[in-house]
Structure 1
Amino acid sequence: MMNIDLPELSLVALVGISGSGKSTFARAHFKPTEVLSSDFFRGLVADDENDQTATKDAFDALGHVAGIRLRAGRRVVVDATNVQKHARAELVALARSFDVLPVAIVLDTPEAVAWERTRTRTDRTFERHVLRRQSQELRRSLRQLGREGFRKVYVVSDPADVTISYERAWNDRRELTGPFDIIGDVHGCHAELESLLTELGWVLVRDEAGRPVDATHPDGRQAVFVGDLVDRGPDSPGVLRLVMGMTDSGHALCVPGNHEQKLLRKLRGRQVTVSHGLAETLEQLESETPEFVDEAARWIDKLVSHLRLDGGRLVVAHAGLKEEYHGRASGRVRDFCLYGESTGETDEYGLPVRYPWARDYRGSAMVVYGHVPTPKVEWVNNTVCLDTGAVFGGELTALRYPEKTFVAVPAERTYYEPVKPLVAEPVRDNETLNLADVTGRRHVRTDDGTVIVDAESSAAALEVMSRFAIDPRLLLWLPPTMSPPSTSSVEGYLEYPTEAFADYRAAGVDTVVCEEKHMGSRAVVLVCRDQAAATTRFGVSDGSSGAVYTRTGRSFFSDAALTETLLARVRAAAGTLFDELDTDWLLLDCELLPWSAKAGGLIRTQYAAAGAAARSALPVALAALAAGVDRGLDLTALRARTAARAANADDFTTAYRRYCWPTNDLDGVSLAPFALLAAEGTTFADRDHGWHLDICDRLVTADPTTFRSTDRRVVDLSDPSAEAEATTWWLDLTGAGGEGMVIKPYAGLSTRTKGKLVQPGIKCRGREYLRIIYGPDYTAPEHLTRLRDRNLNRKRGLALREHSLGLTALNALAAGEPLWRIHELVFAVLAMESTPTDPRL
């Protein structure tokens, strides 16, 4: 039995004369979608698989499709004769252009056998001399395939005696999930490495001479070194001995730096320039045994250019790595990992000018690297540079992952004077915002992938944000939109709980909470312990102690004094929460009542005006119709319809008036909180809604005048009686004039099923509230029939994207990421609201 071991990501060229069985072999061992056949593409471009004049166009099309698959990280198997060197050269070049490995599988079928197969096929018309020529070309090629660039070559004599297995790329360690301590460039600073490991909680293991040869962590953490262990510092052999021992024991991983590669070339007898600290390392190695030096060379030689960890969410490479290179294998990828990308220029110090690839990075994987020293950690987009110049008198720094916190120890002294002064690149501080972060077409990274914000939406959001929004330092989160349930089939209803429960059940959610939907406006409340806390934590100096803002980031009250009065009431009710949660601020998701407190102008100009016009016009029309009927005109049906419209207009007025009542400053205003979103250093997105509502009930108990409770029902979706009880509650609630309910996954804000976010909430609104939304006459059968044909996919997609942006903003806030990063996410939520959708949904 012959086993063919293929790289998981590869371009496989099947090589063999016509009739050798390549297509049969491909069908037996590969997915149909992986196989690209030259015959198929000839037929595609010329309607005839045997039309040799179409060969060039066919291979152009085949190459284009192959490129699309390779770019996406999918295997390609090319089913063609491939007996000519130029044809194979094109495939090798294609593989290299996408940094994947080319493999050749040769089907060495005797010419006579191939000819007998060909004679029996009605779709083949060529003579035997064609096979003879192909066979001769194949024979001349067999010994050349490896030199042509194929990483592996397999010659198959008996296709029935073949199995295929797949080997993972050496850089693919996605099964390792950490937690990790990722350590920046050490450069021979052995004492600092010991201090940093100790600071991180590692326990050093020493040999009989007292030298550290391994380290263990009581919490099972794993160290990851970003390379450049050697050169310039006082004890490169000591660093190598420790890191080699940690990797051999499985306690650490390491990628090579350019200094290790230069040392390896020197130890292997290559001609290298002894500079940039290599002389010091070579001198130190003279005190070591030849066995240690040989083992160090073998160890360096085995290091892999970069590592993909934690399911692909983390990439470690010495000089960083662009997204399209993640998981790829080629000389080009290795060079980027070792040296980064140069502009081809040199600076005034004679050093290469590095292309700032991190500024353009938009990948979902965090890339951690070193190579270019800076005084402090540089966090750009989703990349982190950990080289803080320990050997130059700076610090040796580690990133704790997934915590995303940094630990550093200072250098004991300056061991090596840098050629170029150790000056940080201009990096925005925590308070600096940049217009480029929010304009144009944006690819915004979230914890669940990338959200695309188009230029038009960005422009619309910028108009709102720049003119009306509160101080961006206080604008920490915006709530996502909510989708209604699938359209109800219940007569007379557009929305009904049955469909909402079914929607969540189909999404894999087993328990939901049904929360009363209050008759107000969404409000986010940021309350600090006092004004000093607001200044210290958020940098505001206008005397405010927080903010109360709308879904579009505007302050609820134009009078700052009113905002502060409401915040004082919230602060008093929160009481011991600040101490319990060890925080100086709280972020609450609420509803502010009444609706007229924010939407008074809208109600007067849109709803009240429509209601007043209907109540004025329809009675007059009814009187005229009645007079016509009295005169014997056939107006009975029209009068009945008009009477129904008049009744609907009255119901419409009654409906919106339920959401309006007079207020005087804060008299008549109340808050209905339903979630505690975040506090210092943490979010509560993973807490279940029972926990959130219990916290909110404490606020209501403390101040029942300012706060309103949220009635709710918890529903097990496998229990029909629980669904029925919640439905009855909803009917009673809406029948008494209530707006309806919001149904949420009970497990919490960040609920995921099968690794994907589910809808944060489904709003199920009552008939009379929908009369406000869809107009007085929406309940007429002809209108309901039309409205049932509403497409919810766009709304649901929008809700998920906004929810992902919001959760990521909360996580960034908890992790202490810069203000511009949080603002980028919050701004994107507002921009998403400009996406064209039916506003009534």
Structure 2
Amino acid sequence: MTSTTETTATAAAPGRRLPVTDLSLVVLVGATGSGKSTFAHKHFKRTEVVSSDFCRGLVADDENDQSASGDAFDVLHYIVGKRLAAGRLTVVDATNVQTESRRQLVRLGREHDVLPIAIVLDLPEDVCAARNATRPDRAGMPGHVIARHRRELRRSLRGLEREGFRKVHVLRSPEEVDSAEIVLERRYNDLRHLTGPFDIIGDIHGCSLELETLLRKLGYDNGAHPEGRTAVFVGDLVDRGPDSPGVLRRVMGMVAAGNALCVPGNHENKLGRYLKGRAVQHTHGLAETIEQLEKEDARDPAFREQVREFIDGLVSHYVLDEGKLVVCHAGLPEKYHGRTSGRVRSHALYGDTTGETDEFGLPVRYPWAEDYRGRAAVVYGHTPVPNTSWINNTICLDTGAVFGGRMTALRWPERELVDVPAEKVWYEPARPLVTEAPGGREGRPLDLADVSGRRIVETRHMARIGVREENAAAALEVMSRFAVDPRLLAYLPPTMAPTATSREEGYLEYPAEAFAQYRADGISRVVCEEKHMGSRAVALVCRDADAARERFGVDGPTGALHTRTGRPFFDDEAVTEEILQRLRTAVGAAGLWDQLDTDWLLLDGELMPWSLKASGLLRSQYAAVGAASGAVLPKAGAALEAAVARGVAVADLHTRQLERATDAAAFTDAYRRYCWTTDGLDGVRLAPFQVLACRGRSLAAVAHDEQLAWLDRLVEHDPTGLLQVTRRLVVDTGDEESVRAGVDWWLEMTGRGGEGMVVKPLQALAKDGRGRLVQPGIKVRGREYLRIIYGPEYTRPQNLERLRQRFLNHKRSLALREYALGLEALDRLADGEPLWRVHEAVFAVLALESEPVDPRL
């Protein structure tokens, strides 16, 4: 933009206001004794000023030790660099009369993409000498030093602009210095004070019909929104389409009326150079725009000049909404946000390329969005994609309207996408639109950088979810050593929140609290599903090896069967394939391949028995406790009984020991229910309770009664006996009789030794009255099952009272975050996004599992 690059090199009149950009490198220039330090401390914060004298004192304990100047300026440049990197206004207080000293400072400004500004104190030699004479540390300074400084300053004065200073302010008398006023100016790209709401509109390319349709859909009437929303255009308004002048008139009018903001695209940049008479190639749609403008000249001769001025005034990018939002054309890494330089403008207009070209002769763009970790959401366009989605808090809105795709807008802060279809293919693209996530490369291998370090994952149902670096490292250890092939790891189920702690006598958990929570969330109907005595299992079943190869890129396996932490259930791949084959047969016989129009299914379920996967835990922990209590407590009880018979006063102790023996026996009975002998697949059971996804569709929002009906058919058509039905009961949370029936069902089931039940909203993907996700399931575990978790004697009144002080908020938060990530993984999988995008959300679930939380909850 012209106004950001104009240079002022005029003498300041008394009382003159000196504009200084709020993020800039201010270089004070003047001979010794000219009053630079006094000026700096009068107009700037003490912390903003970096003085060469101070740095000299740091390294030599003497601010006047000229022999330490080399080290002192090393320190000065280091401090200046750190301040500029942090985005802080920095003032350099040194003579800076030599070209080389200024060159290093200008270079620092360019490295950090801030404007260098010179304030020159060009005071007479006698004034400088008189001031030095009053300072004890300068009284003995030779007179020729000031004369030399003055000569060097005079030689430099006219060339400061050429050295790279964007503004030069010259003060030539003590009166001018004393009366000058520093005025901090906001950067042109800094619109943090504007908080919206905004409607950010992607690349238009002369498609005026589609633009008008989209504006109407967004609620605009003749360019204005009745609710005061502001449109923000990401550039590429012109070229290729049928009516670039019409688009320009609409956008220019909205900007002039204060109803819109606009950043330039590379096509506006090229058109602007053409309108200034520069030599540019009439390619990539510019020829069509020139022809349209020539026709417009006859109707409105002033229009061409208005367009030139409009383009000339566009700012490379905007920082909006308190710094939460950045809008540009081609994307912008965080280090460039709010910065001003040619490099920043170039990246905002064109992005960055790898230096390679694809098979269509077009440059391969560097996938900057994959590496983005910034806190501000970056909304951009430039590279057309058929479907847009969030990547690391960035989103591309160019969905190829001019190529027959769609024109897309993003409502902010709602993060809602709105689009309209193209009227037709207005321009044949050089490269066909392909299913490629913006910033990504279709089919590229999974990469360590996809999951390492601190991460922010955008989800559609809970906005941004953060993953700490240490949690990612823990998950990476598990994934790299134990997990199934990550290409087959399409989903990890979330942890499940327990019901609120019960005050029912003798119980820690009770169904009434689960029903009450859903009633409070506005959920009227829930389904109670029995909790199976096994381990959570996810099954990816492909119709054949070709289907597995086409979607998941594996050669050989026809799917996967893994735990909730991504580990394979069986070390023997042949056993896994046998289970997949049985599932495949049942799916085919039940007609689900055809009904769901798919060649793969993702199932959530429970694999039994528990001992199949947890045999080591059973032996080392539960069986050891049972064996020890069985060996010790009967003998202790017998000894105490004999003592009582002899008249020893140990009756109370004897009673307590009998109670301990009873509790220990109950503990042993409880965990033994989860163990039975298996031989190969004989004795193994799989109870599926949800179909998660299939080709082109996430099924996570399908109501649970419909889900369970599909799975009943699956069990019915399994000739091998592998699959097991999940029993269920529907409860109306507002009906006391229905709630009582649900409680009785749970009591009957757990009384027979069952683990308990999971209560879920009947309509999946449920939200409360404020639009927030509610828990997808609340587990209510049986009284005897909890003996395994909390110990044999947990039902003692004093122990129960202590356990009722458990804290559930972190567990509930974790369950919801993992649920949102799981939904995101399913959506990305169904949308056909690259597997690295799916895996990003999957890996985040595993990373969150390393957050510290009571494992008994």
Question: Which of the five TM-score ranges fits, normalised by the shorter chain?
Answer: 0.5 to 0.7
Equivalence map 1:769-808=2 (5 Å): 769-808=785-824
Give the superposition deviation at 1:228: 3.0
- The answer to whether structure 1 residue 240 and structure 2 residue 215 are counterparts is no
The whole-number CA distance in structure 2 between the counterparts of 1:663 and 1:380 is 45
Q: Which of 703, 707, 710 pairs up with 2:723?
A: 707
Q: Which of 543, 554, 559 pairs up with 2:572?
A: 559
Q: Indicate the residue corresponding to 1:257 in structure 2.
A: 265
Judge conservation of contact 2:245–2:293 (CA < 8 Å) in 1: no
The whole-number CA distance in structure 2 between the counterparts of 1:308 and 1:717 is 48
- The answer to whether structure 1 residue 289 and structure 2 residue 305 are counterparts is no
Q: Indicate the residue corresponding to 1:570 in structure 2.
A: 583
Q: Indicate the residue corresponding to 2:611 in structure 1.
A: 596
Equivalence map 1:495-534=2 (5 Å): 495-534=509-548
Give the superposition deviation at 1:239: 3.7
Secondary structure of residue in 1 paired with 2:497: coil
In structure 1, the gaps of 5 or more residues are 1-54, 60-70, 72-96, 99-143, 152-166, 203-213, 416-423
Judge conservation of contact 2:540–2:603 (CA < 8 Å) in 1: yes
- The answer to whether structure 1 residue 432 and structure 2 residue 445 are counterparts is yes
What do residues 18-72 of structure 1 show as CA deviations (whole Å, max 9, x unaligned)? xxxxxxxxxxxxxxxxxxxxxxxxxxxxxxxxxxxxx99999xxxxxxxxxxx9x
Give the superposition deviation at 1:317: 3.6
Equivalence map 1:137-148=2 (5 Å): none
The whole-number CA distance in structure 1 between the counterparts of 2:326 and 2:579 is 47
Q: Indicate the residue corresponding to 1:490 in structure 2.
A: 504
Higher mean alpha-carbon deviation, 334-343 vs 363-372, is at: 334-343
The whole-number CA distance in structure 1 between the counterparts of 2:446 and 2:440 is 11
Q: Which of 649, 660, 664 pairs up with 2:679?
A: 664
Secondary structure of residue in 2 paired with 1:721: helix
Q: Which of 546, 561, 584 pairs up with 2:599?
A: 584
The whole-number CA distance in structure 2 between the counterparts of 1:404 and 1:588 is 33
Give the superposition deviation at 1:356: 7.5
TM-score between the two structures when normalised by the length of structure 1: 0.65
Judge conservation of contact 1:320–1:337 (CA < 8 Å) in 2: no
Give the superposition deviation at 1:437: 2.3
Give the superposition deviation at 1:428: 4.4
Q: Indicate the residue corresponding to 1:66 in structure 2.
A: none
Q: Indicate the residue corresponding to 2:490 in structure 1.
A: 476
CA spacing shift, 1:538–1:150, aligned 2, 3 Å: closer
Give the superposition deviation at 1:461: 1.6
Higher mean alpha-carbon deviation, 655-664 vs 288-297, is at: 288-297
Judge conservation of contact 1:340–1:354 (CA < 8 Å) in 2: no
Higher mean alpha-carbon deviation, 694-703 vs 678-687, is at: 694-703
Give the superposition deviation at 1:794: 1.5
Equivalence map 1:646-725=2 (5 Å): 646-703=661-718, 705-725=721-741
The whole-number CA distance in structure 1 between the counterparts of 2:336 and 2:270 is 23
Letter in 2 for 1:228: D
Equivalence map 1:120-519=2 (5 Å): 172=196, 174=198, 182-183=202-203, 186=205, 226-230=234-238, 238-241=242-245, 243-244=247-248, 256-260=264-268, 263=271, 273-275=278-280, 277=282, 285-292=293-300, 294-295=302-303, 298=306, 317-320=328-331, 340=348, 358-362=369-373, 367=378, 369-371=380-382, 381-383=392-394, 402=417, 428-447=441-460, 448-519=462-533
The whole-number CA distance in structure 1 between the counterparts of 2:342 and 2:195 is 11
The whole-number CA distance in structure 2 between the counterparts of 1:442 and 1:717 is 39
Judge conservation of contact 1:264–1:297 (CA < 8 Å) in 2: no
Judge conservation of contact 1:588–1:675 (CA < 8 Å) in 2: yes
CA spacing shift, 1:429–1:596, aligned 2, 3 Å: same
Judge conservation of contact 1:386–1:398 (CA < 8 Å) in 2: no
The whole-number CA distance in structure 2 between the counterparts of 1:830 and 1:444 is 13
- The answer to whether structure 1 residue 545 and structure 2 residue 558 are counterparts is yes
Q: Indicate the residue corresponding to 1:606 in structure 2.
A: 621
What do residues 590-645 of structure 1 show as CA deviations (whole Å, max 9, x unaligned)? 11121112112221221112111111111111111122222222111111111111
In structure 2, the gaps of 5 or more residues are 1-43, 49-85, 87-112, 115-179, 220-230, 255-259, 358-362, 410-416, 432-436
The whole-number CA distance in structure 2 between the counterparts of 1:702 and 1:524 is 20
Give the superposition deviation at 1:795: 1.0
TM-score between the two structures when normalised by the length of structure 2: 0.64
Letter in 2 for 1:688: A
The whole-number CA distance in structure 2 between the counterparts of 1:800 and 1:714 is 23
Judge conservation of contact 2:367–2:439 (CA < 8 Å) in 1: no
Judge conservation of contact 2:404–2:426 (CA < 8 Å) in 1: yes
Higher mean alpha-carbon deviation, 775-784 vs 395-404, is at: 395-404
What do residues 539-590 of structure 1 show as CA deviations (whole Å, max 9, x unaligned)? 1112x21111111111112222221221122112212111111111011111
Letter in 1 for 2:702: R
Q: Indicate the residue corresponding to 1:126 in structure 2.
A: none
CA spacing shift, 1:684–1:354, aligned 2, 3 Å: closer
Q: Indicate the residue corresponding to 1:27 in structure 2.
A: none
Judge conservation of contact 1:473–1:540 (CA < 8 Å) in 2: yes
Judge conservation of contact 2:483–2:567 (CA < 8 Å) in 1: yes
The whole-number CA distance in structure 1 between the counterparts of 2:253 and 2:632 is 87
Give the superposition deviation at 1:382: 5.0
- The answer to whether structure 1 residue 635 and structure 2 residue 646 are counterparts is no
Judge conservation of contact 2:235–2:268 (CA < 8 Å) in 1: yes
Give the superposition deviation at 1:450: 2.5
CA spacing shift, 1:221–1:701, aligned 2, 3 Å: farther
The whole-number CA distance in structure 1 between the counterparts of 2:389 and 2:771 is 30
Pairwise CA RMSD: 5.2
- The answer to whether structure 1 residue 766 and structure 2 residue 782 are counterparts is yes
Secondary structure of residue in 2 paired with 1:590: strand
Letter in 1 for 2:560: A
Aligned length: 644
Q: Which of 592, 598, 623 pairs up with 2:638?
A: 623
The whole-number CA distance in structure 2 between the counterparts of 1:828 and 1:57 is 44
Letter in 2 for 1:486: A
Give the superposition deviation at 1:515: 1.1
The whole-number CA distance in structure 2 between the counterparts of 1:628 and 1:404 is 85
Secondary structure of residue in 1 paired with 2:729: strand
CA spacing shift, 1:342–1:695, aligned 2, 3 Å: closer
The whole-number CA distance in structure 2 between the counterparts of 1:58 and 1:215 is 51
Higher mean alpha-carbon deviation, 761-770 vs 358-367, is at: 358-367
The whole-number CA distance in structure 2 between the counterparts of 1:493 and 1:537 is 48
Judge conservation of contact 2:641–2:654 (CA < 8 Å) in 1: yes
The whole-number CA distance in structure 2 between the counterparts of 1:375 and 1:697 is 38
Judge conservation of contact 2:605–2:688 (CA < 8 Å) in 1: yes
CA spacing shift, 1:788–1:399, aligned 2, 3 Å: same
The whole-number CA distance in structure 2 between the counterparts of 1:718 and 1:706 is 38
The whole-number CA distance in structure 1 between the counterparts of 2:723 and 2:840 is 32
CA spacing shift, 1:218–1:289, aligned 2, 3 Å: closer
Q: Which of 739, 743, 751 pairs up with 1:727?
A: 743
The whole-number CA distance in structure 1 between the counterparts of 2:546 and 2:353 is 50
The whole-number CA distance in structure 1 between the counterparts of 2:576 and 2:529 is 27
What do residues 315-335 of structure 1 show as CA deviations (whole Å, max 9, x unaligned)? 864233567999xxx896999
